[in-house]
């Protein structure tokens, strides 16, 4: 199973939109996918038509209580599941402050989960607190959505440093697998400049090795599309809400590129072993 944390400490860059629609596109392609919503705003849960009510278990009960992953998991369709969040999760940072091993609670819960998936996608909150640390210790890959804005690189070095520290101290298998540009407008000079800057930044970082070595700057760009903004209010992914829109087309292309990325790396490892 590939486990991916979709992360950016800056809000409004298309993080949740990417987590949900990438998951839906992978499921449409025949893969079994589980989305785990770690954001107290629960936007990923709402995006997929799920709202936690009454005593229904959520991620909060998994991190701060005795609930298992399967207790909270709901199925959107036969190949796509979600472990929902709720506003209660906002209290988790405080409640876990004095908890020993608080950074690995989610990892431990996932290790005993018996349901099999091809992909586990974690939608992280726009911060670098305990919830995000739980995500980074539980996954192998980090996926970074960026908006083509002049502030796109602001804070990126700090984020990569955090990933590096987690990889060094808590999760040696952690690495940045890819970066994707969202809300992209190819006709603007700004988008072209940011694209060039991000590409140069990743190439520079990769020369030093570490967790970002080999990170892919995806050729697929998620174009600005009003349908993507409308879909969450209907509790649907873009593939359900507007299956022929530019947004649906872009996320299908991104999912294909994302699946091929792993195939390429796996092939390289096999060649190395044969040699």
Tens-digit pLDDT profile for residues 241-258: 999 999 999 999 999 999
As a whole number of angstroms, the longest Cα–Cα distance in the chain is: 58
Q: How confident is the model at residue 148 (pLDDT cuts 50, 70, 90)?
A: confident
pTM above 0.75, yes or no: yes
Looking at residue 208, what is its pLDDT?
63
SS3 183: coil
pLDDT at 269 over 60: no
Q: Which H/E stretch holds residue 23? A: helix 15-28
The pLDDT of residue 266 is: 45
Among residues 33, 40, 83, the alpha carbon closest in space to that of 58 is found at 83
Q: What is the mean pLDDT of residues 186-194?
A: 78
Residue 268: band (very low, low, confident or very high) from pLDDT cuts 50, 70, 90: very low
Tell me, what's the pLDDT at 206? 66
Q: If you average pLDDT over residues 230-250, what whole number do you get?
A: 95
Q: Which helix (H) or strand (E) holds 75?
A: strand 74-75
CA–CA dist 229, 225 (Å, integer): 7
Fold of 2-274: Rossmann fold (3.40.50)
Q: Is the model's pLDDT at 28 over the cut of 60?
A: yes
């Amino acid at each position: 199973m590939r486990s991916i944390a979709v992360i950016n400490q800056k809000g409004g860059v298309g993080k949740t939109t990417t987590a949900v629609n990438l998951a839906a596109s992978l499921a449409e392609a025949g893969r079994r996918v589980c989305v785990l919503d770690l954001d107290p705003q629960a936007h990923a849960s709402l995006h997929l038509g799920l709202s936690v009510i009454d005593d229904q278990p959520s991620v909060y009960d998994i991190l701060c209580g005795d609930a298992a992953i399967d207790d909270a998991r709901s199925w959107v369709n036969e190949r796509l599941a979600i472990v929902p969040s709720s506003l209660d999760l906002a209290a988790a940072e405080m409640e876990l402050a004095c908890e020993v091993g608080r950074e690995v609670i989610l990892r431990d819960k996932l290790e005993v989960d018996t349901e099999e998936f091809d992909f586990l996608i974690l939608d992280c909150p726009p911060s670098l607190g305990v919830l995000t640390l739980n995500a980074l210790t539980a996954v192998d890959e980090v996926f970074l959505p960026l908006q083509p804005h002049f502030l796109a690189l602001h804070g990126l070095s700090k984020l990569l440093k955090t990933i590096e520290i987690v990889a060094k101290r808590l999760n040696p298998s952690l690495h940045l697998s890819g970066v994707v540009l969202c809300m992209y407008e190819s006709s603007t000079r700004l988008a072209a400049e940011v694209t060039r800057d991000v590409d140069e930044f990743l190439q520079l970082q990769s020369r030093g090795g570490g967790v970002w070595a080999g990170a892919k700057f995806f050729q697929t760009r998620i174009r600005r599309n009003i349908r993507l903004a409308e879909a969450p209010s209907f509790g649907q992914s873009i593939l359900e809400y507007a299956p022929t829109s530019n947004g649906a087309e872009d996320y299908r292309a991104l999912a294909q590129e994302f699946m091929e990325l792993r195939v390429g790396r796996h092939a390289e490892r096999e060649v190395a072993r044969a040699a």
